[in-house]
Chains A and B, each alone.
Chain A
């Protein structure tokens, strides 16, 4: 009797907790303010402590990484040697290509960030969870950073700010698939929506009018259409594959991001907010 009463209580407790979790998920999905505020407050409190602990743990972390990543480091070293040799031969060709690229970008009107002010930041840590899709930057609201501002490197868009405290901000990476970005294909009238695939630096672009001629090798940049959370003309990546569905009059593309998301050290937050 007591046992059945007890198991009944356990079931009720578990059900109530599950309902609470679903309620929290719903509130967060609707962009509830208090949850964001609490997350920011926790970030503010923990960041300095985390920095101190990171400094103390640094030698141990390096030893750990060298122990578990030695195979990868060897492969990476060999790859870098090969690449170095190849790059030496490419220097001359690249200097010419760079000049041509600059001319091309000017021609199609991509000023990159242009006159929009940016905040230069340092990446202080990667993901806390195991479904890592975030970076932590060493500057926050005291430097003018706000939620949803775009984050770029010298190569292109990498993500957007999702959490801000006074001296820290958290960036959700574009490759993670947690948000979408409107893009246009440079040199064409094609526009579409790109989203991360959860893999490294690869995006899937969809909703492209199949009547628009999109070719492999074209450049995708943010479209900046009305209501877009990103300014226009931030380079995103190169189109690596195009698939056309004639029945649906729609094309989908694969995009390889320009920005290298591995071992990011610095990133710029573009102080841009959508109009209205």
Chain B
């Protein structure tokens, strides 16, 4: 007798569009970012000078790309702790490729980096889906293994900016309409992945898998294939980040990327992605990444003791999880009551 509205999006009778806009998951983290920038600019106007803004965008680029990739994996209720090691391998690989073949077309180097990242992501994905092992454990082990491979391959060898073509390095300097080229790449990535997750069948399936993978399997979703896709996507994006790292920074070697993984997870969590999957958006993860990288620069610009920085990041993460939890509880309550009233 009850009309089931379970599958229809909850519009809610009489709710203004403004209210539903405000309730979007990305709002808390975006407003935090806005507040941070405004406060810092008031204290130090140099923060939004053209160089300052360029620096902010450049700093955030690599973290944004990685957060988008890792966010996709987290949405499926998995995690990939090996992203730092993957970045290191691809960055060093990029340096090696340029050192071995200095005239190689830059596009080809990008493709090599993406392919290497995809391969490493696929290994993780296979282990998680075929061997049915929890991703936390697998990717923790792969973190060690990939780092060991990086150390064995690189040894004491480091490649510096001078070993790479100037045109490659200029990707991090030149701008398009005031936005650095590599940041444009990052924005394109965010848009593409966001559209993939929200508008395509395989993308939406990822949310279903994250919510309840047994139900998804019963529903007919090819869970293993989708999860593998998510890991490969994450690996590819991390590979892209690795190539851009080699463009932006000076040296690539054995220790590149060590310790990045928890920063990226933090960015995704702060951006509203639930650690259990099933909700959140990569746009939020991207904003979370921007927020965390901006805090570093903001504290320096404010001359705040840099020692407070990590503590502030910790508080931000806890706040973000709290906000996400409150939001999901209220959503659950609203869905329950809307079902009851519609029954």
Q: Tell me whether A and B are bound partners.
A: no
Residues of A within 8 A of B (CB): none
